[in-house]
Structure 1
Amino acid sequence: MQEDYRKWYSHHLGRDMEMLVYGNWGYPVVLFPTSMGRFYEYKNFGFIESVRWFVETGKVKLYCIDSIDRDSFYARHLHPGTRIWNQVLYDRFLHDELVPGIQRECNERKIGVAGASFGGYHALNFAFRHPEQVGNLFSMGAKFDIRSFLHGYYDDNVYYNNPVDFVPNDGNPELYHMNIVLGTSAYDFCKPANEQMAGILGRKGIRHQLDIVPWGDHDWPVWKDMFPRYLSQI
Structure 2
Amino acid sequence: MHEEYRRFYSHHLGRDIEMLVYGNWGYPILLFPTTMGRYYEYKNFNFIESVRWFVETGKVKLYCVDSIDRDSWYAKHLHPSIRIHNHTVYDRFLCEELVPSIQHECHVGKIGVGGCSFGGFQALNFAFRHPDQVAYLFSMGAAFDIRSFMNGYYDENVYFNNPPDYIPNAHNDHFYQMKIVLGTSAYDFCRPENHRMSDILNQKGIPHWLDVRPWGEHDWPVWREMFPHYLSLIE
Whether the TM-score (by the shorter chain) exceeds 0.5 is: yes
> The residue matched to 1:161 in structure 2 has which SS?
coil
Summarize deviations over 1:20-61 as a string: whole Å, max 9, x none: 000000000000000000000000000000000000000000
Q: Deviations over 1:131-171 (max 9, x none)?
A: 00000000000000000000100000000000000000011
What's 1:71 paired with? 71
| Partner residue, 2:2 | 2
Q: Give the letter for the 1:18 counterpart.
A: E
Q: 1:79: Cα distance to partner? A: 0.2
Structure-1 residue corresponding to 2:166: 166
Asked if 1:100 is matched to 2:100, the reply is yes
The aligned amino acid for 1:41 is E
For residue 118 of structure 1, report the CA deviation from its aligned partner. 0.1
State the SS of the aligned residue for 1:132.
helix
TM-score scaled by structure 1? 1.00
- Write the letter of the residue equivalent to 2:37: G
* Alignment match, 1:38: 38
Q: Distance in 2 between matches of 1:20 and 1:154?
A: 34
Q: State the AA in 2 paired with 1:197.
A: M
2:23 maps to which residue? Answer: 23
Q: CA deviation at 1:9?
A: 1.6
Matched with 2:130 is 130
Deviations 1:91-131 (A, max 9, x none): 00000000000000000001000000000000000000000
| Structure 2 Cα separation of the partners of residues 158 and 8 of structure 1 | 27
**2:81 aligned residue:** 81
Alignment match, 1:49: 49
Q: Which runs of 5+ in 1 are unaligned?
A: none
Letter of the structure 1 residue corresponding to residue 56 of structure 2? E
For the residue of structure 1 that corresponds to 2:5, the secondary structure is strand
Normalised to the residue count of structure 2, the TM-score between the two structures is 0.99
Partners of 1:108 and 1:9 in 2: CA distance:
22
Return the letter of the residue paired with 1:6: R
- For residues 211 and 181 of structure 1, the distance between their equivalents in structure 2, rounded to whole angstroms, comes to 7
- Write the distance in 2 (CA, Å) between the matches of 1:9 and 1:202: 39
- The amino acid across from 1:91 in the alignment is D
Q: 2:229 aligns to what? A: 229
Report the counterpart of residue 152 of structure 2 in structure 1.
152
Query: CA–CA distance in 2 between the matches of 1:200 and 1:93?
Result: 28
Give the CA deviation at 1:14: 1.3
Equivalent residue number for residue 196 of structure 2: 196
Q: Describe the SS at the equivalent of 2:132.
A: coil
Q: Which amino acid aligns with 2:179?
A: N
RMSD value over aligned CA atoms? 0.4
CA distances 1:37-88 after superposition (whole Å, capped 9, x unpaired): 0000000000000000000000000000000000101000000000000010
Residues paired across the two proteins, number: 234
1:140 and 2:140 are equivalent in the alignment: yes
- Identical columns (%): 72
CA distance in 2, matches of 1:126, 1:215: 28
Paired letter, 1:12: H
Distance in 1 (CA, whole Å) between partners of 2:122 and 2:173 is 21
Post-superposition shift, 1:233? 0.3
Q: Where does structure 2 lack aligned partners over 5 or more consecutive residues?
A: none
How many angstroms apart in 2 are the aligned matches of 1:203 and 1:33?
A: 29
